[in-house]
Amino acid sequence: MSTTSGTCRRERGVALVMVMWVVIIAGLMLLGVLKVSRTNRALVHEGFAAVEAHWLARAGVEQAMAVLEDDDRSVDNTLEDWYQNAWIFDMVQLGSGWFAVRSAADGERAGLDDESGRINLNIADKKQLTELKTLDDTQIDSLIDWRSSGDTPSGNGAKAGYYQHLRFPYEMRGREFQTHRELLLVRGFEDRSFFGRPGPSLAPGGAAAQTTIYSYQANRDPNGLPRVNINQATAQTLQERFNFTGQLAQAVVQQRSRQPFQRLSALLDVRPQQGADPSSPRGSSSGGGTPVAQTTLEWLGAHVDEIAVNDDTRLPGKININTAPREVLMTLPGMTGEFADRVVEQRASADGAFKTLADLLDRRVLSQDVFRGLFEQITVRSDVFTVESLGVSGSGIQRRILAVIDRGSDPARILYWYQTP
């Protein structure tokens, strides 16, 4: 009997140990399941927060596009909402999070960056690139070679043969840059120093912040109508639109028949023909006034946004004198430090931003000689802008979007888009 009792006790003890092991193992498994569950919940929460942050950043881009749509396009300057307005761009609350649109060039400013306040690398010549003071001869020549056709390199530049013999060869474009960072493929720019030190901003920094490949102006007047092509307009159109005398209108037509106008400044050399029909224009859009018997720099400055020498839809690379920094102004032909300082001071004075290029003469900012050499490269209007938007979710997750907006198209379109993953 005692033997049987001892055996039973041993069996019960073994069973108890086994049960305890099962409980321990089950507990450990439960703890693992709970840990995985918590991890999954955290991942799901972080995923939702990332999506929230992304759409908050998208909201900042949409806000920027709405501001540009409502903006008066006749003049663009640093006093407008798109340039700086903390109420509509800085830490705007939306749901549990917020978005902020800040200048990539000046992170403290709540607003957009004007691409027309920069040097367009697709059209800048060697002289203008040299005046930027941040590029050496190899970089300048290689940049121009990259965007140009042909197989012969210029000076210290590089053509297809150079890139095909690299350790990891690639084709050169041989036409205009499509994105800003394509410049990293060009000889002399491989070390990235041109783009400044890496930081949280997605936009190019360093010297690259003074350049662009996107800027252009639609070939339309401030009212959105096609500009008058002086190589195609009839004498009657010139009289009706610009109050030209009959002699001047006919002289313009006769001169272009001998050689088409390549530059607007060529109008200054047109001399009215004696004995031509002196009749006054009919239906002039200028509403009367003294007929224009001779084109002058003042007249060109006031009407340069209404005339063109071709029917191209875009006029690339014009620099907005209301938004360009001093360093960019200094790259314009004939510009000196004194004249650049006058531009910056005058546009910030009580007289306000320049409304037409003629203001540069009327307000004695530039001399006539300097104005004549650069007026076709400058403007007071802009069509392309960069927006960098930061979205922050309620839990602090951040996402950024960098977009280049072309409002010169109808409807406005995105030329470039980059976002953090």
Q: Which residues neighbour 87 within 8 Å (Cβ) at sequence distance 6 or greater?
A: none
- Between strands 378-379 and 319-320, the pairing is parallel
Q: Domain spans of the chain?
A: 228-311
Helices 246-258 & 235-242, crossing angle to 10 degrees? 130
Please give the pLDDT value at position 326: 96
Calpha distance 304→361 (Å, rounded) = 14
- Check if the beta carbon of residue 77 is closer than 8 Å to that of residue 359: no
Rounded mean pLDDT, 96-109? 90
pTM of the complete model: 0.85
- From the number of C-beta atoms within 10 Å of its C-beta (0-12, 13-18, 19+), residue 302 rates as middle
Please give the pLDDT value at position 288: 57
pLDDT in tens, 160-217: 999 999 999 999 999 999 999 999 999 999 989 999 888 888 988 899 999 999 999 9
Alpha-carbon torsion 289, 291, 295, 296, what sign? negative
